[in-house]
Amino acid sequence: MDGNGRWARARGLPRIRGHQAGVEALRDIVTACAEWDIPYVTLYSFSTENWARPRAEVDFLMGLLQRYLRHELDVLQKNNVRLLTIGSSEQMPEPVRRDLAAAMQSTAGNTGLTLTLALSYGSRAEIVEAVRALAREAAAGVVCPDDIDENMVAARLQTSGTPDPDLLIRTSGEMRISNFLLWQIAYTELWVTPTYWPDFRRAELLRALEDYAGRERRFGKVEAP
């Protein structure tokens, strides 16, 4: 979800207005995904690098997340959405953690869209944690180093239980991954749009999905005869 700041600047508004407008896009996209029976959506909401932003902006984003969790909970429930998070949640402020825990608990039984918010998330840190877990298991003699395979690594990532993404959408035209799901996107299809996140609505999501549907995914193999 990139481009909130530029959306605001283009309108002569403070950056936080871009973040506010971004919530409108979030609501539309989440509702559309639920209505269209998309089983998993993962949103890069706040990276580990985002902590280095001015204190006032970080505080605003944390407050915005809390308001989202409180105001949108009934929308999530109505749409049968299950909420999860990935990232270093222990770094989030205590009140935000409480609201996240409450929202996850009350949506845990929902069977529709799984909405994962990546919060204080960094993919390399996630991989390092998985490596540490495997090293501990090896040191304890539970795992033989030569037996370690891709499935065992994937199972120790925070995304275990969620399939690898089919499609990655990046808004605001940036041609980079920015430490997002590096392991998981090995064969993910990419869609980059110049649209700033606050302007990204279901009509454009539909265009991205239609484009994706027309692609041939070979996973490194040759096309089927």
Residues that bind ligand IPE (CB under 6 A): 1-6, 46, 50, 61, 172, 197
CB of 213 to ligand IPE, least distance (A): 27
Considering the complex, state which of residue 2 and residue 126 has its C-beta at the smaller distance from Mg ion: 2
**Active site residue ranges:** 2, 50
Rg of the chain over CA atoms, in angstroms? 19
CB of 224 to ligand IPE, least distance (A): 39
Closest Cα to residue 66, out of 96, 40, 36, 41? 96
Considering the complex, state which of residue 10 and residue 108 has its C-beta at the smaller distance from Mg ion: 10
Considering the complex, state which of residue 61 and residue 113 has its C-beta at the smaller distance from ligand IPE: 61
CB of 47 to ligand IPE, least distance (A): 7
User: Any contact of residue 99 with Mg ion (CB under 5 A)?
Assistant: no
112 and 143 Cβ atoms separated by less than 8 Å: no
Residue least distant from Mg ion (Cβ):
2
Considering the complex, state which of residue 5 and residue 87 has its C-beta at the smaller distance from ligand IPE: 5
45 and 58 Cβ atoms separated by less than 8 Å: no
Closest Cα to residue 205, out of 34, 29, 81? 29
34 and 81 Cβ atoms separated by less than 8 Å: yes
3-state secondary structure 147-158: HCCHHHHHHCCC
Site map 1..20 versus Mg ion, x via CB under 5 A: -x------------------
167 and 208 Cβ atoms separated by less than 8 Å: yes
CB of 2 to Mg ion, least distance (A): 4
Beta bridge partners of 43: 117
